[in-house]
Amino acid sequence: MSRTFLGIPVHRGPGSAVGRPDEPFGPVPHPVEPLRWGPSFPEAAREALKNTRLRGNLAHATSTIRAKRARVVDEVPDWEALRDAGSAVKTRVLAELPELLQELERNVTARGGVVHWARDGAEANRIVADIAKAKGADEVVKVKSMATQEIGLNEALAEEGIGAVETDLAELIVQLADDMPSHILVPAIHRNRSEIRDIFLARMGDAPPDLSDVPRELAMAARAHLRRKFLSAKVAVSGANFAVASTGTLAVVESEGNGRMCLTLPDTLVTVMGIEKLVPSFEDLEVFLQLLPRSSTGERMNPYTSLWTGVTPGDGPQEFHLILLDNGRTSVLADEVGRAALHCIRCSACLNVCPVYERVGGHAYGSVYPGPIGAILTPQLTASSGGVSGHGDPNASLPYASTLCGACYDVCPVKIDIPSILVDLRAREVDADRSHPTVWGAAMKSASWAMSDAGRFRLAGSSARAGRMLARDEVIHHLPFPGSLWTGSRDLPAPPKQTFHAWWDERERAAAHPEEDR
Amino acid sequence: MTDARTEILARIRAALGGGDQRVIGSSSDDRQPGLPITPQPADHVREYRTAGEHAPGSAEVLELLVDRLVDYRAHVVQIPADGVAAAVAAALIPTATGTPETVPGAVNGAVEPPGDGLARAPRAVVVPPGLDPAWTAALADAGVEVRTDTREAPLSNAELDSAAAVVTAARVAIAETGTIVLDGAPDQGRRAISLVPDVHVCVVRADQVVQTVPEAVRLLAPEADRPQTWISGPSATSDIELDRVEGVHGPRTLHVVVVQGP
């Protein structure tokens, strides 16, 4: 099948989650549900682990960023106090969310902005499309934003005949490759420089034919490619890192200047923001503007941060729309343990330190939110459609995508206790599944029966010794079903030659008759 | 059907209201609605540093700012109060008059970036309406066109794109993070003028340099509704293998002129 790439992401049919043989770059086509695609985590992880190039790319990138982060965090004497403050501010935001949202709305409106509310992704997409159409725009420029990824905005706009041009370098790489992001901060982290060069040469249209794989040259190619679009765009779409309730100020944190281009040059700006992204007062920014850059890119400060309040006459967009997005957040809020996931400021530090993420990459999580934070956020955001409790829902397997090592908690700038929430979500998943008979449940039941009686336990112990026949070098690699459910993914130590009971009896006998010891 | 605003606010209130307390690790109870959140007391929130140990404009703070800016590959000069015009001219005359030179800010000062690099023809230097005219006097003397951009009579995007450079003042600078903040005051201008031209010369007075982020935020807070741009070095990206590369869409070259003395 031949296909002409028009710069617009292709919207694939429902259920298409498996790579196509004629897809040269992306094993991951655009899913219908950006928060739920592909097989369950264990299945996806097994496939991802076979990809040695992916593992090499990820190991290189994550070790680079870990070292940078550690260096710039170590030089901040009050880092722990800042983390405490970040956590406390976010706790307060959730407690006072209705009042703060209305305060934000009042202040944005007073400064000439228009505030919209969207219950779900479809409603938000509809609002953006209507604004673009009203402005007669068949193309919008976009600042990288997780909220618009989460709601599949680009695909929804494409269906309305509106092209969405991603302007962040990594998002551009992902878009040109017709791929999905695999990291919150660096969506193309799974690509190395030579893959990126190949993508640009094949898909950009105006890439210099002698383009090398030197990162600087690749960045210059992106600059030249997007320059004209920036200077002529009528409508821009962004997310927001923070919104200040007391002033109505919005903040976008970025590096390349593509954000500034989008937030400054077009006449109309539409910002899509999750309802939890608030801070109460302007001074709260002093906390997060220290925590975020050091945690995310490992820089003392990111190159550019833009702050704007409504409309400024004669400077920047003269029409500003703010869309406040729920899309599952209120159901996360309803759980007093899991709601801490809404403290997240999307720095991605937890991804970079996670031993699981480093090996399987972002696509295995089947959500635009991968890694440890994704493992707690994705199931909860999709809870109303079975993300936590659905029997067989791929998202219900995400809380198991962790070794519970705790590295994510240590680096989290707002101290989200990810390991505890993972454990809690596992418990919720198990509870929800109790009505379904499972092999695991049956095994636990029979173990409970055997262990609750001394005679039965003794018998079970001595019969387990038969398992030694299956062992090689004191390890059992394969058991017949149902034991294969265990040995399919891990080894089992061989049972000892002698049970504890037998050893104890022998010891007692020897003590009673020492002369027989020889 | 209720409107989205009413419904979302109702959902939030339902999620926050009443319900039995649950602790982490417990399970198998009914989970909704959630427990009201008790925020930590406000005094706990502000235990971090709200000011540095060095005074604004002190030698220590200036040294720190220069160190951070150089780390971002910005070009920094420290000059006395009467040296601004000469410093601006030194930064821009080779660019604006088309004198061949190695592009500043390039990696190791050796690699000239491809793409839409600096043209060789004489080009204008853009200034905001409130900039001290003395600062660009030496440029004008050298035959460089100095164009003023105002909110009322803005230059077009194309005009800004063809300009060689922009010269602005600043509102405040943060030493620890190497950050300069512009807030759209008349000597800093519209956001677009410090964005589209490829070279930005920013003049910072020593007394505008504070040590920490909170000091700057508190200075900016009274006029928080002004559009602010926080600039920490030339534009950059870490999107390719998480390696930092300077120079993408924003100005690829940043000159910071730190003015000492009164």
Q: Is residue A61 part of a domain?
A: no
Same domain, B157 and B194: yes
Amino acid A516: pLDDT: 57
Residues of A in contact with B175 (CB under 8 A): none
Residue B107: which pLDDT band, with cuts at 50, 70 and 90?
A: very low
Whether pLDDT at A309 is above 90: yes
Measured between CA atoms, the residue of chain A closest to residue B234 is A303
Average pLDDT over residues A451-474: 84
Q: Which of A167, A217, A315 sits opposite B114 (nearest CB)?
A: A217
Amino acid B121: pLDDT: 53
Residue finishing a domain among A327, A351, A372 = A327
β-pair partners for A320? A113, A269
Contact call for A84 and B115, based on CB within 8 A: no
Measured between CA atoms, the residue of chain A closest to residue B41 is A88
**Nearest to residue A284, comparing CAs of A244, A323, A318?**
A244
β-pair partners for A140? A164, A235
Average pLDDT over residues A343-354: 97
Tell me how crowded residue A198 is: count the other CB atoms within 10 A of its CB.
16
Residue A458: which pLDDT band, with cuts at 50, 70 and 90?
A: confident
Q: Does residue B34 sit at the A interface (CB-CB below 8 Å)? A: yes
Q: Which of A168, A169, A427 sits opposite B27 (nearest CB)?
A: A427
- Distance, CA of B155 to CA of B158 (rounded, Å): 8
Q: Is residue B69 part of a domain?
A: yes
- Distance, CA of B143 to CA of B158 (rounded, Å): 22
Average pLDDT over residues A430-435: 79
Task: Characterize the bridge pairing of strands A139-142 and A163-166.
Answer: parallel
Q: Is residue A392 part of a domain?
A: no
**Nearest to residue B25, comparing CAs of A417, A496, A482, A129?**
A417
Residue A480: which pLDDT band, with cuts at 50, 70 and 90?
A: confident
- Residue from B67, B244, B248 whose CB has the most chain A CBs within 10 Å, to mutate: B248
Contact call for A336 and B21, based on CB within 8 A: yes
Residue A5: which pLDDT band, with cuts at 50, 70 and 90?
A: very low
Q: Is residue A80 part of a domain?
A: no
Amino acid A67: pLDDT: 95
- Residue from A65, A83, A299 whose CB has the most chain B CBs within 10 Å, to mutate: A299
- Distance, CA of B124 to CA of B95 (rounded, Å): 10
Q: Tell me the average pLDDT of chain B.
A: 85
Whether pLDDT at B202 is above 50: yes
Same domain, B101 and B27: no
Same domain, B96 and B11: no
Contact call for B27 and A192, based on CB within 8 A: no
Q: Does residue B230 sit at the A interface (CB-CB below 8 Å)? A: yes
Measured between CA atoms, the residue of chain A closest to residue B216 is A286
Contact call for B239 and A186, based on CB within 8 A: yes
Amino acid B242: pLDDT: 79
Measured between CA atoms, the residue of chain B closest to residue A313 is B151
Contact call for A334 and B190, based on CB within 8 A: no
Q: What is the DSSP letter of A466?
A: G
Q: Does residue B168 sit at the A interface (CB-CB below 8 Å)? A: no
Same domain, A315 and A452: no
Measured between CA atoms, the residue of chain B closest to residue A331 is B15
More confident residue, A443 or A79: A79
Residues of B in contact with A278 (CB under 8 A): none
The distance of Cα A98 from the centroid of its chain, to the nearest Å, equals 26
Domain that holds residue B10: 4-38
**Torsion from C-alpha of A200, A205, A211, A217, nearest 10 degrees:** -70
Measured between CA atoms, the residue of chain B closest to residue A418 is B24
Contact call for B49 and A77, based on CB within 8 A: yes
Same domain, B116 and B224: yes
Residue finishing a domain among A327, A362, A384 = A327
Highest averaged pLDDT of the listed ranges A212-226, A420-434, A485-499, A502-516:
A212-226
Of the listed ranges A238-252, A312-326, A390-404, the least confidently predicted one is A390-404
Amino acid A280: pLDDT: 97
Q: Which of B12, B179, B248 sits opposite A333 (nearest CB)?
A: B12
Contact call for B249 and A230, based on CB within 8 A: yes
Cross-sheet strand order for the sheet of B253-260: B75-80, B253-260, B199-205, B165-168, B125-127, B146-148
Residues of A in contact with B38 (CB under 8 A): 95
Amino acid B44: pLDDT: 55
Same domain, B175 and B92: yes
Measured between CA atoms, the residue of chain B closest to residue A221 is B115
Q: Any idea what the CATH number is for the domain that residue B88 is in?
A: 3.40.50.10420
Same domain, B11 and B111: no
Residues of B in contact with A97 (CB under 8 A): 12, 16
Q: Which of B37, B174, B226 sits opposite A91 (nearest CB)?
A: B37
Same domain, B185 and B112: yes
- Please, are residues A400 and A424 in contact by the beta-carbon 8 Å criterion? no
Token look-up 């001074």 returns A283
Residues of B in contact with A85 (CB under 8 A): 45-48
Task: Characterize the bridge pairing of strands A268-274 and A235-238.
Answer: parallel
Number of structural domains chain A divides into: 2
Residue B1: which pLDDT band, with cuts at 50, 70 and 90?
A: low
Q: Tell me the average pLDDT of chain A.
A: 90
Å from B5 to nearest chain A CA?
5
Å from B51 to nearest chain A CA?
11
ipTM score? 0.88
B257 three-class SS:
strand
Domain that holds residue A317: 97-327
- Distance, CA of B257 to CA of B186 (rounded, Å): 18
Number of structural domains chain B divides into: 2
Terminal-to-terminal C-alpha distance of chain A: 82
Amino acid B116: pLDDT: 41
- Distance, CA of A252 to CA of A275 (rounded, Å): 15
Measured between CA atoms, the residue of chain B closest to residue A86 is B45
Q: Which of B37, B47, B221 sits opposite A81 (nearest CB)?
A: B47
Whether pLDDT at A210 is above 70: yes
Contact call for A97 and B72, based on CB within 8 A: no
Residue B23, token pair as written in the block? 């602790």
Residues of B in contact with A222 (CB under 8 A): 248
Å from A475 to nearest chain B CA?
33
Same domain, B21 and B71: no
Q: Is residue B135 part of a domain?
A: yes
Average pLDDT over residues A60-85: 95
Residue B151 region by backbone torsions, left for phi larger than 0, else alpha for psi between -120 and 50, else beta = alpha
Tell me how crowded residue B57 is: count the other CB atoms within 10 A of its CB.
18
Å from B213 to nearest chain A CA?
6
Task: Characterize the bridge pairing of strands B243-246 and B236-240.
Answer: antiparallel
Residue B191: which pLDDT band, with cuts at 50, 70 and 90?
A: very high
Å from A93 to nearest chain B CA?
9
Measured between CA atoms, the residue of chain B closest to residue A246 is B224
Rounded to 5 degrees, what are φ and ψ at A364?
A: -65, -20
Residue A27: which pLDDT band, with cuts at 50, 70 and 90?
A: low
Same domain, A148 and A286: yes
Q: Is residue B81 part of a domain?
A: yes
Whether pLDDT at B114 is above 90: no
Amino acid B97: pLDDT: 64
Contact call for A428 and B31, based on CB within 8 A: yes
- Whole-Å CA distances, B43 to A81, A88, A178, A340, B160: 12, 10, 49, 21, 48
Same domain, B26 and B63: no
Amino acid B41: pLDDT: 56
Residue A108: which pLDDT band, with cuts at 50, 70 and 90?
A: very high
Q: Which of B40, B157, B179 sits opposite A88 (nearest CB)?
A: B40
Same domain, B8 and B102: no
Amino acid A21: pLDDT: 43
Q: Is residue A332 part of a domain?
A: no
Question: How would DSSP label each residue in B155-221?
Answer: PPHHHHHH--EEEE--SEEETTTTEEEE---TTT--GGGGTSSSEEEEEEEGGGEESSHHHHHHHHG
Q: Is residue A369 part of a domain?
A: no
Whether pLDDT at A336 is above 80: yes
Residues of A in contact with B247 (CB under 8 A): 216, 219-220, 223
Amino acid B99: pLDDT: 53
Q: Does residue B260 sit at the A interface (CB-CB below 8 Å)? A: no
What value, to the nearest 5°, has the Cα angle with vertex B108 and ends A70 and A189?
45
More confident residue, B5 or B107: B5
Residues of A in contact with B188 (CB under 8 A): none
Average pLDDT over residues B81-91: 94
Average pLDDT over residues A49-78: 93
Residue A28: which pLDDT band, with cuts at 50, 70 and 90?
A: low
Q: Does residue B33 sit at the A interface (CB-CB below 8 Å)? A: yes
Q: Is residue A269 part of a domain?
A: yes
- Distance, CA of A304 to CA of A264 (rounded, Å): 13
Contact call for B3 and A117, based on CB within 8 A: yes
Q: Is residue A344 part of a domain?
A: no
SS (H, E, C) A157-168: HHHCCCEEEECC
Residue B39: which pLDDT band, with cuts at 50, 70 and 90?
A: low
- Distance, CA of A371 to CA of B2 (rounded, Å): 36
Average pLDDT over residues A366-370: 94
Whether pLDDT at B38 is above 80: no
Å from A336 to nearest chain B CA?
5
Same domain, B81 and B9: no
More confident residue, A433 or A112: A112
Residues of B in contact with A304 (CB under 8 A): 229-232, 235, 250
Q: Which of A88, A192, A248 sits opposite B241 (nearest CB)?
A: A192
Residues of B in contact with A330 (CB under 8 A): 8, 11-12, 14-15
Whether pLDDT at B48 is above 60: yes
More confident residue, B28 or A156: A156
Q: Does residue B130 sit at the A interface (CB-CB below 8 Å)? A: no
Q: Which of B213, B217, B241 sits opposite A193 (nearest CB)?
A: B241
Whether pLDDT at A312 is above 70: yes
A–B interface: beta-carbon pairs under 8 A:
311
- Distance, CA of A257 to CA of A189 (rounded, Å): 20
Q: Is residue B14 part of a domain?
A: yes
Q: Is residue B44 part of a domain?
A: no
Same domain, B81 and B8: no
β-pair partners for B203? B257
Residue B67, token pair as written in the block? 């160190």
